[in-house]
Structure 1
Amino acid sequence: MRYSACLLALLPFALSSPIQQSLDFSSLAPRADPSLTGYLGVFFLGDAPSVYFYLSNGNNAASLTSLNKNQPVINPTKGSKGVRDPSIIPGGGADAGNKWYIIGTDLNIAKTNWDAAQRTGSRGIFVWESSDLVSWTGERLVQVEEATAGMVWAPAAIWDAEKGQYLVHWASKFFAASDTQHKGSPSPTRIRYAHTKDFKTFSAPQDYINKSPTEIIDLDIFQLGGNQSYARFMKNETAKTVFTEISTNGLFGTWTRPGGNSAIIASGVEGPAVYWDNQVAGKAHLILDFYEIDGYRPYESTDVKGGRWTASDRGGWPKNLRHGSVMPINATQGSVLSAKWK
């Protein structure tokens, strides 16, 4: 549920010859970015529904250390007073490099149960914003879904350059309009979306991924090496598997599944979150939440389009991190975070 589009470096080519002009830039891997020297991870821990920060050990994408003495950096005060699935969103457009958002699910399971949380759960998303990654202000709980929805889970976002706004997406299931108390049978869970410029006002929600009768949750979208090329990762909640799809013609283009319709990355997992490696061109990292075992585990790939992922070394990876996201950062940002939350 997480977004890296604003961190992609431009490919170092000039269109100065017929050969270069014929290149398909969507097929080229983004180059590594030497200005990025670490990673910031935001998670919740087990049944502790707050936002916890982790900083990488050096520039190692699969090695993290807790900040703030393993205490939360953000404690929600609105709604259920519990936030799950936090996603950190770099600013897009004029806000690139100047603003960041953290959004998340409004759910404190200690105050409810899983059935009620899907029938009469929150229809809003938590939002915090920052201009320095240290001070997080403007807490708000913004309703994004209509009255027939039973819940809004795992919101995340990506900058939609064609629209000039953020595309925000989440998982919801729905009840008949006449079933105002949501006691009947709901629809299968599907992915919804809306656009926003400021995470305050959102467009009317619409379907983004509907694979009924299959239940789909936990979407994360990842921009590849071109303006129209994307990978998206999601959980088949019916089969309890995570799989990927690829589009080379935009966020609303045609999506295909590498390896065929039955291909998966892993089973018994959820909360996929993906980010580029700072040092190795074309290398990406994917974390998967083994929710019934020990939380997130890291994976890596140099063939995202092919859907080929292998387990990373977990020697420096903490246990029991739950559904969140990771964002590459520069040395200044790392120093500020370390100084504030060491």
Structure 2
Amino acid sequence: MLFSTLTTLSLLSIAALSTPTHPSLDLSAYTTLAPRADPSLTGYLGVFFLGDKPSVYFYLSAGNNALSLKPLNKGQPVITPTKGTLGVRDPSIIPGGGAEAGKKWYIIGTDLNIAKTTWDASQRTGSRGIFVWESSDLTSWTGERLVTVEDATAGMVWAPDAIWDADKGQYLVHWASKFYAPTGDAQHSGTPSAIKIRYAHTKDFKTFTPPRDYIDRSPTNTIDLNLLALGSNAYARFLKDESAKTVYTEISTGGLFGSWARPAGAAAVIASAVEGPAAYWDNQVAGKAHLLLDFYGGDGYRPYESADVKSGKWSASAAAGSWPKNLRHGSVLPVTAGQVSAVSAKWPA
């Protein structure tokens, strides 16, 4: 979200891996860090906003082709917010975890309608809340709420995303914020902190634990975190260096709070002048993953792919020419045949 997944397969579809006995990142013992293909998944559901249109738009793949998204609802928004700024950016669709796995989904997003403000004001006195909608079938989205997660020293809350944290038995929710002096600067007119990634845990996306720092690389500004589960407590994460305008990846083999390192080198990046990384596994090819990168100064999302996520090496997808234009920071969820039928019936293409 510059001025701009999370999606994972069920842990049941993750290949078994050995866990290293040391806390630091060491991939030498791993031949693969990848889920197997899942025959129950036969399509992909994408949620995005479109440039200057801050609503949630749904897209569905043509069959089981990860690079064939077409708009649902005749290209009209599926969700338009009625609270806050009346605009939502960076929507992320979150599959239920724990007891909610396969039974619940959430869409969360940034409360920001840039047509009603400026980029400077949106970072000084912007919304400190996260939009939330929920569903038990992917077709009925209810319970719209705007949950405040930061205190009055924060200038904004941007690009929220979440992943099921099995160790905690809760969802780990994260976002980007900058902060102003706690006294003497109620209008946030002074110099802020660098933008950092914050996190909290929640069981229901209603009540959140007090937020804490997750990634603070001051004076570098860091935004747009996305996490992808690799199995056996290993994860890949994708984030934007907002100071350098680059997106890069890191790997942890020790969990969400383990040691993280760039597998391709400390200075390695995936691409420049991009943001909003959104990663998801291929339904059919074991070990293959897709990564959407938002070319915010151009035509929006373009797809990248990797056959070896742990290597940190990604390349532009060969089929990128058929990818729809102007999709902005969102996410993609692998879905079953029944779910494909349900959303297609509810919102015809």
TM over 0.5: yes
- Aligned equivalents of 2:41, 2:131: Cα separation in 1: 28
Q: 1:135 aligns with which of 109, 126, 140?
A: 140
Cα distance per residue 1:234-271 (max 9 Å; x no partner): 00000000000000001000000122221000000000
Question: Residue 247 of structure 1 corresponds to which residue in structure 2?
Answer: 252
Q: 1:92 aligns with which of 72, 92, 97?
A: 97
Which of the pair has the greater relative contact order for Cα pairs under 8 Å at 6+ separation? 2
Amino acid at match of 1:196: T
Cα distance per residue 1:257-286 (max 9 Å; x no partner): 122221000000000000000000000000
Question: Residue 7 of structure 1 corresponds to which residue in structure 2?
Answer: 10
Equivalent positions of 1:186-201 (< 5 A) are 186-201=192-207
Aligned residues: 334
The alpha-carbon distance between structure 1 residues 8 and 311, as it changes in their structure 2 partners (threshold 3 A), is: farther
Question: Residue 40 of structure 1 corresponds to which residue in structure 2?
Answer: 45
When structure 1 is superposed on structure 2, of 71-80 and 308-317 the one drifting more is 308-317
Amino acid at match of 1:215: N
Equivalent positions of 1:1-342 (< 5 A) are 2-10=5-13, 27-178=32-183, 179-224=185-230, 226-312=231-317, 313-342=319-348
Give unpaired runs (5+ residues) of structure 1: 16-23
- Aligned equivalents of 1:7, 1:101: Cα separation in 2: 16
Counterpart contact for 2:202–2:209, Cα < 8 Å? yes
The alpha-carbon distance between structure 1 residues 172 and 28, as it changes in their structure 2 partners (threshold 3 A), is: closer
Cα distance per residue 1:1-42 (max 9 Å; x no partner): 923345344457799xxxxxxxx7894421000000000000
Give unpaired runs (5+ residues) of structure 2: 19-28
SS for the counterpart of 2:261 is coil
When structure 1 is superposed on structure 2, of 27-36 and 230-239 the one drifting more is 27-36
Counterpart contact for 1:241–1:264, Cα < 8 Å? yes
The alpha-carbon distance between structure 1 residues 28 and 237, as it changes in their structure 2 partners (threshold 3 A), is: closer
- Aligned equivalents of 2:281, 2:209: Cα separation in 1: 30
Cα distance per residue 1:157-199 (max 9 Å; x no partner): 0000000000000000000101111000001100000000000
* Residue 65 of structure 1: how far off its partner (Å): 0.3
The alpha-carbon distance between structure 1 residues 113 and 172, as it changes in their structure 2 partners (threshold 3 A), is: same
Counterpart contact for 1:6–1:91, Cα < 8 Å? no
Amino acid at match of 1:185: T
The alpha-carbon distance between structure 1 residues 12 and 187, as it changes in their structure 2 partners (threshold 3 A), is: closer
CA RMSD of aligned residues (A): 1.7
TM-score in terms of structure 2 length: 0.93
Counterpart contact for 2:227–2:237, Cα < 8 Å? yes
- Work out the percentage of aligned pairs sharing the same amino acid: 73
